[in-house]
Structure 1
């Protein structure tokens, strides 16, 4: 039953962070910076002790957090296999819920969590952090303004050595970021999804995955992710009819987003390429995770759906679900067009 004395609308909730591994620590730091961190939950007593000393919060068990009417929201950074159970328990207790990506490890579980949030009347948000990166926001504005012309292709690479997971493959671990960005750039869901996975360390677990998304009218997107790669590359490129642009998160802030005003002409029947120097786009330096956490708190208080709320999260999960099916049956999967959040 939902407690009756939890935070009301137009009030910023106190937050408990559940799961304080490497990324959970960062989430706790951001909510502490925003002045809303109340408690941390983690099975490692030393972790809890260090965080409570560092941020001035308190340690608690999950049951204590769920029973505490003074805690209005939770941020879940547990292993993904635990996301559904923890989220449903928190929603049943009347808490707003932020869940680190992926929302869950399968689409039916994601639907269940979204339905639980709807029934509880609470905010649900997924940690698609790059939606809150000023570099991606600048790239998205270039597309929306028409400066690149008609979008013909999106190409994304998320590659590195490490972060090899036990319970999820590279698709579920890495691709949510680039699927989220691609849907935002294209303004909706693809019509077709095809994916190929390669398991080199463990045959049953894909270390590298390539997704091919086909959108209405002809635009395509190619997403390549891997945790078995010799160097780090976090880059998404947009190929437009008038210009090209790249968001490269591995570059310094003054070059994270650049426009490439190359021109390709077919006049005379023979393609002619005219190269041009890249033009940097001014991007204000800011921490995406801090902006993401602040957005979550604002949506909890206002009741507005987050940018990466249930609508956006389910659209991403649907693509990932069909990509996982395609990796298994080697078929192209179709899905109905759907506007993104």
Structure 2
């Protein structure tokens, strides 16, 4: 953003790196950033602003930040929430920010035994709708208890409702995944051994928030276990028809109009990584005219490959075999080379 290449983690400041991945150092935007920075900021494709937040186990629990297109930190705003929760992601629309205040809370008593977070049935679950222009308070919409690691996209429909699409975890699915990641589970309701598959993992869901009536509705778009949802980033916060996810041994393309999902199988024993959309130079008005880049792991002994798919018909365009194994699950952004 603004000619800076930033490596992100939600537990601290961003780190600026060079194009050759050399470390420059922590970036605080001229000393103005005083909280951690989320690993999932959102760049508005129209204004060029970068919106992000920081969350913490201690007050302030949630702080909203806005960078100008030029990279200046122009706004920081504290958001009132009852406690510190693991807010891994959020969503934006043209005029709003959507907060995910969900029941995975900090418990510092667990700090010596791994990740100090746990599911708390008493916390509740809600989505917060905040205007980006700074007017009004955050409006909260109570939803069924769940957890969301990653958002696909959000937009405002023609009736003024807010549409949010994300991967939703039930308590059972979260417990199983959290145990597999080494997290603490109090009174577990599921067995260990979580994998992405037909019945395990999170499912793509859609929430409709109606500011006029103060109501929210929810529906599942698919029952397959998936993760790492992505869209064409040029449509972040705007209507997008297609979204892409990964599941066990496959990459899925969802058409949210027809309700269909087109898979590309990567083979038994593989772990496809986040499928990042790269638009073609001549994509015109076709949202899915471009390519999907996914780092596919073949286990601990067979290396990794960069898979390039045609996003329109989900066929393989190219495969780049990597000289070293890339750990499964790594995800982020593909940055254009300014020298090409």
Please give the range of the TM-score, normalised by the shorter of the 2 chains. under 0.3
Structure having greater relative contact order (Cα 8 Å, sep ≥ 6)? 1
Q: Could you say which structure has the higher strand fraction?
A: 2
Q: Could you say which structure has the higher helix fraction?
A: 1
TM-score (norm 2): 0.26
TM-score (norm 1): 0.26
